[in-house]
Structure 1
C-alpha cells in the first residue's frame, strides 16, 4: 500500500488540528496557547587553579607595559614617519638563522 504525501491535511487531521489550536487549559490551569516563560539560568562555572593563575597573569601583563621601552618605540615611529629608518638586512638574517638553529635543537 502506498500513500501520496502532498502536504495537505486529510479532513480528519484538519479537525484534530483545529481542536488542538483552540485555547485549552492545561492541568496546571495555565492556558496552552500562551508562551511559556523562561526559567532563571542556573549554570555555574568553577575555574581550575591553572585558569585562575592565567587570569592573574593576564591582569599583570595588561596593567604593566611589559618591559617595552616606550622611548625607543617613539624614536622608531618618528624615524619611520620621516623616512630615516634603516633596516640592517645582515642583522635580520643573522637573527633569523639563530632562531632557526634554536628551534631545530
Structure 2
C-alpha cells in the first residue's frame, strides 16, 4: 500500500529558493572561513505617533514619579493643621471627569 503526499512541493521549493540565496558550505570545503549570513531585507519605519510615544517614555523614565518638594509641603501643612480640603472643587472635578468618561 502506498500513500501519496501532495501539496508539499511548492512550500519546500520556496524554502529552498530562499536558502539558495545565502552562502552555504559544500561538502569537503575548508571550514576555516565562517559562512556569512545574508543581509536582512526587513525594515521598520515608525509613525510620528510611535516616535512621540518613545520620546514621552524616555522623558518619563528620567523624571521622578512625583514632586518631592510638593509632597513635603503638603505633609507640613497637614501636620500644622493649615491644610484645607475644598470639597466643592473636588466634587466639581469628579463630575467633570464623569461627564468626559460618559461622553
Q: Give the TM-score range, shorter chain.
A: 0.3 to 0.5
Q: Which has the larger radius of gyration?
A: 1
TM-score normalized with structure 2 length: 0.39
TM-score normalized with structure 1 length: 0.38
